[in-house]
A and B are shown apart, each in its own frame.
Chain A
């Protein structure tokens, strides 16, 4: 089988021409670096994406804590993960890098804070 892909690893966005069978990539053209190889393989056999969203934070100087998945997760789960994160309430203070939810939806990925949020009145 053949497929055209656009690599999403960096702004260059290489156009990839991939040929593959049920198990493996047979040939790959158009990638300017190694990241394209990994991307093509993942995108064909088990596509993954990073999720970045916000979680509600209580008693913080801002109302929303930006968060991300600790690694890219199964593409079909992104919406469920955003929904899951919208259920939690976190108490300030929070430090950037703190784990907010461990192993979310059994994906193996954690949800990590990407901003330090002090308590109200402590910008």
Chain B
């Protein structure tokens, strides 16, 4: 089938849904929202725990509840939503439009001609292959998100004696979930000297059940023939090398990996979108447009978010920019680089516009106390300053900076000790 639209949104998770609703609110009617899953909602459908929406809806919701609020808006606005439909390619046309190739269970292969594309494909989890744990290759090793889907969507408990590698939030949430479902979670092992997930999850998912957290440790070997039987846990020296003389073994039938997320950008790379090596998301301008005109990005495919509220906010901004682009009203003033210094792991967008204020997202390299974040121009004009009692890599900061004055050559952002 062939079809012509103004915008195709790839992925109907919270990012894609909010972008679609925002496009509608900005007067763009002819849009298509596509997801490869049989229901909309993305990763939220398997995140049955509470902790979503505190900022956006001013109440604490579970993942499915948050998703349903947006699904209702999609239905109410009669937005064309194709489910069980996977985007397999995006092609550039000579007239600047794009062709999005959609493989759909119901509709077969489809070529959608569109003025704009919103990338909202989310993330996938890093797996054993990404972190190279030595040892045998038995069954029973999976990502925490896979276990979450098995338990919460399909109703299977993947094991009884569990070790978790990585202290990201998904791993912590699954430690509690598996315990509640009758499994014995023996330990969470973390490479860094600080936890990867939020403090609140350390308390309510580990401490509540006396599950030990080994910081500065790793799994140095896996054994077992058909099924995993044992892992070897070793402390790490300052060069992150395992100290084998101090290692100990834990018997287990399941190993969950919660070792980070990777934005799903294969489609983006193919069409020439450039990625930031730190975030692994696209380089975007303040309109959230990638270096390929007409292709925009938002949500976890742009930068890994810990709060879905910020995903919705980002996607709303993205939808508004796409609407302007479609109406040929996307203005662009002169852009200058935004340079990260001391302790700033990344900042997004990587450029700011002269004569405009900007909304920045950033994360620090490591936890620290009593830090001041400043944003200054090359001629020392202060655009932002705030003190933080504590900063954590697990908590993304979102800040609004003042109008960038004329004649600025670059802007720098840094943390400083008080």
- Whether A79 pairs with B180 at a CB distance below 8 angstroms is yes
- Which residues of A, 26-83, contact B by the 8 Å Cβ criterion? 32, 49-54, 56, 62-64, 66, 68, 75, 78-79, 82
- Whether A66 pairs with B200 at a CB distance below 8 angstroms is no
How far apart are B105's CB and chain A's nearest CB, in angstroms? 12
* Chain A residues with CB under 8 A of B61: 114
* Chain B residues with CB under 8 A of A1: none
Q: Is A121 in contact with chain B by the CB < 8 A criterion?
A: no
* Chain A residues with CB under 8 A of B204: 8, 49
Interface 0/1 of A88-123, CB less than 8 Å to B: 000000001000000000000000001110000001
Which has the most chain A C-beta neighbours within 10 Å: B180, B198, B306? B180
How far apart are A56's CB and chain B's nearest CB, in angstroms? 7
Q: Is B389 in contact with chain A by the CB < 8 A criterion?
A: yes
Q: How large is the interface on B (under 10, 10 to 19, 20 to 34, 35 or more residues)?
A: 35 or more
Q: Compute how far the CA of A17 lies from the CA of B302 in the bound complex, rounded to whole angstroms.
A: 38
* Chain A residues with CB under 8 A of B64: 66, 96, 114-115
* Chain A residues with CB under 8 A of B390: 12, 15
- Whether A115 pairs with B65 at a CB distance below 8 angstroms is yes
* Chain B residues with CB under 8 A of A75: 208
Take A64-B155, A66-B48 as given contacts and tell me if A6 and B203 are in contact as well, using a CB distance cutoff of 8 Å: yes
Q: Compute how far the CA of A114 lies from the CA of B204 in the bound complex, rounded to whole angstroms.
A: 21
Interface size on A, residues (CB 8 A): 31
* Chain A residues with CB under 8 A of B203: 6, 8, 13
How far apart are B210's CB and chain A's nearest CB, in angstroms? 13
- Which residues of B, 71-92, contact A by the 8 Å Cβ criterion? 83
Which residue of A7, A11, A54, A68 contacts B50 across the interface (Cβ within 8 Å)? A68
How far apart are A33's CB and chain B's nearest CB, in angstroms? 12
Interface 0/1 of B265-307, CB less than 8 Å to A: 0000000000000000000000000000000000000000011
- Whether B181 pairs with A82 at a CB distance below 8 angstroms is yes
How far apart are A30's CB and chain B's nearest CB, in angstroms? 8
Q: Compute how far the CA of A56 lies from the CA of B202 in the bound complex, rounded to whole angstroms.
A: 29
Pair count A-B, CB < 8 A: 81
- Whether B48 pairs with A63 at a CB distance below 8 angstroms is no
Q: Compute how far the CA of A53 lies from the CA of B154 in the bound complex, rounded to whole angstroms.
A: 13
Q: Is B243 in contact with chain A by the CB < 8 A criterion?
A: no
How far apart are A118's CB and chain B's nearest CB, in angstroms? 11
* Chain A residues with CB under 8 A of B50: 50, 52, 68
- Whether A123 pairs with B39 at a CB distance below 8 angstroms is yes
How far apart are B201's CB and chain A's nearest CB, in angstroms? 8
How far apart are B23's CB and chain A's nearest CB, in angstroms? 24
- Whether A8 pairs with B49 at a CB distance below 8 angstroms is no
Which has the most chain A C-beta neighbours within 10 Å: B48, B202, B204, B395? B48
Q: Compute how far the CA of A118 lies from the CA of B354 in the bound complex, rounded to whole angstroms.
A: 52
Q: Is B68 in contact with chain A by the CB < 8 A criterion?
A: yes
Which residue of B48, B54, B155 contacts A52 across the interface (Cβ within 8 Å)? B48
The 10 closest A-B pairs by CB, nearest first: A13-B199, A66-B48, A115-B64, A8-B200, A82-B180, A114-B62, A52-B49, A13-B200, A6-B199, A114-B65
Give residues in B with beta carbon < 8 Å to A.
Answer: 38-39, 45, 48-51, 54, 61-65, 68, 83, 151-155, 177, 180-181, 198-200, 202-204, 208, 306-307, 389-390, 395
Pairs across A and B, CB under 8 Å, 9 listed? A6-B202, A7-B200, A56-B155, A62-B153, A63-B155, A64-B155, A66-B48, A79-B180, A115-B64
Give residues in A with beta carbon < 8 Å to B.
Answer: 6-13, 15, 32, 49-54, 56, 62-64, 66, 68, 75, 78-79, 82, 96, 114-116, 123
* Given A66-B62, A68-B48, A82-B181: 8 more A-B contacts, CB < 8 Å: A8-B204, A11-B395, A66-B48, A66-B64, A79-B180, A96-B68, A123-B38, A123-B83
